[in-house]
């Protein structure tokens, strides 16, 4: 007997995680679903937090309650995504902005029904990726940034019900992609679709730099599949002694809490 399809949902989806954790890859998988539109990063939602945050004392003089300002923010931000989704024949929208991991308290206040997907990658590999993509100083700062992103996002996630917050490990996503993605789409209440993992065969609004970088990584790894696990554990051969020491000091407790050894 065929398994019943999961209950369909219409709530917005927010995909977050520390930069260089695989969020772009996961964004393209989501965007490959026939119902979900996951467009370019927005990044500006925290800027609107000023309205009900540090600027609230002044703006409250307009006489509108805080809830009304939140509604206006929700209609503006959600309207942009909904209109974009409609132009692509999609019925549900997702936002992939890694930075929102630091603002999930505001995100979930504006969108009280939002489903949060938090992609977590081994912090040591994230440090390596920062060095290769942004330079050595970025890698040094990442040993502090990565655990801060993890702690902040998980703290908000701990306050949400199970159907609102979902953690996905990068390592499983790239080594067992179908198993990992089936679990994700079940959480989202969306049916599984064959071919969804072949995201590179579909059209996405992606900056050319991402396409070029992905092609270079696949060529360097000698793979042709869009999802591959060759970058798992790169820290073992690419993390120098100084960065290893910094990771041990600043990222070690979070690595251990997440079960990374």
∠125-129-132 over CA atoms, to 5°?
A: 140
pLDDT at residue 139, rounded to an integer: 98
Q: What pLDDT, in 10s, does the model give residues 4-62?
A: 444 557 899 999 999 999 999 999 999 999 999 999 999 999 999 999 999 999 999 99
pLDDT at residue 213, rounded to an integer: 67
Residue ranges and CATH numbers for the domains of the chain are 7-258 (3.40.50.300)
pLDDT at residue 108, rounded to an integer: 98
CB 18 within 8 A of CB 145: yes
Positions of E strands within 148-237: 165-169
Q: Is the pLDDT of residue 218 over 90?
A: no
Q: How many CB atoms lie within 10 A of CB 56?
A: 14
Over range 126-140, report the average pLDDT.
97
Over range 112-131, report the average pLDDT.
98
Q: Is the pLDDT of residue 206 over 90?
A: no
pLDDT at residue 205, rounded to an integer: 86
Contacts made by residues 107-114, CB under 8 angstroms, sequence distance 24+: 107/14, 107/45, 108/156, 108/160, 108/164, 109/70, 110/45, 110/70, 110/73, 110/74, 110/77, 111/11, 111/12, 111/14, 111/74, 111/78, 113/11, 113/12, 113/164, 114/11, 114/12, 114/13, 114/14, 114/164
**pTM (2 decimals)?**
0.92
């Amino acid at each position: 007997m065929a398994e019943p399809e999961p209950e369909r949902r219409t709530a917005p989806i927010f995909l977050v995680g520390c930069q260089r954790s695989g969020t772009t890859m996961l964004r393209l998988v989501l965007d490959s679903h026939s119902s979900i539109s996951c467009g370019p990063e927005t990044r500006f939602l925290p800027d609107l937090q000023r309205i009900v945050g540090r600027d609230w004392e002044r703006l409250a003089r307009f006489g509108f309650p805080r809830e009304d300002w939140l509604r206006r923010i929700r209609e503006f931000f959600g309207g942009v995504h909904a209109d974009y989704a409609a132009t692509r024949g999609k019925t549900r929208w997702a936002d992939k902005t890694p930075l929102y991991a630091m603002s999930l308290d505001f995100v979930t206040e504006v969108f009280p029904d939002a489903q949060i997907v938090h992609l977590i990658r081994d912090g040591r590999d994230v440090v390596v990726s920062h060095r290769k993509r942004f330079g050595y100083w970025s890698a040094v700062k990442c040993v502090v940034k990565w655990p801060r992103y993890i702690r902040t996002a998980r703290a908000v996630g701990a306050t949400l019900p199970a159907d609102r917050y979902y953690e996905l490990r990068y390592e499983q996503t790239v080594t067992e992609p179908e198993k990992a993605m089936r679990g994700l789409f079940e959480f989202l209440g969306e049916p599984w679709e064959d071919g969804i993992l072949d995201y590179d065969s579909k059209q996405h609004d992606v900056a050319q730099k991402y396409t070029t970088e992905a092609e270079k990584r696949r060529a360097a790894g000698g793979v042709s599949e869009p999802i591959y696990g060759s970058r798992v554990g790169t820290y073992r051969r690419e993390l120098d002694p100084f960065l290893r020491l910094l990771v041990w000091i600043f990222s070690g407790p979070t690595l251990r809490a997440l079960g990374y050894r």
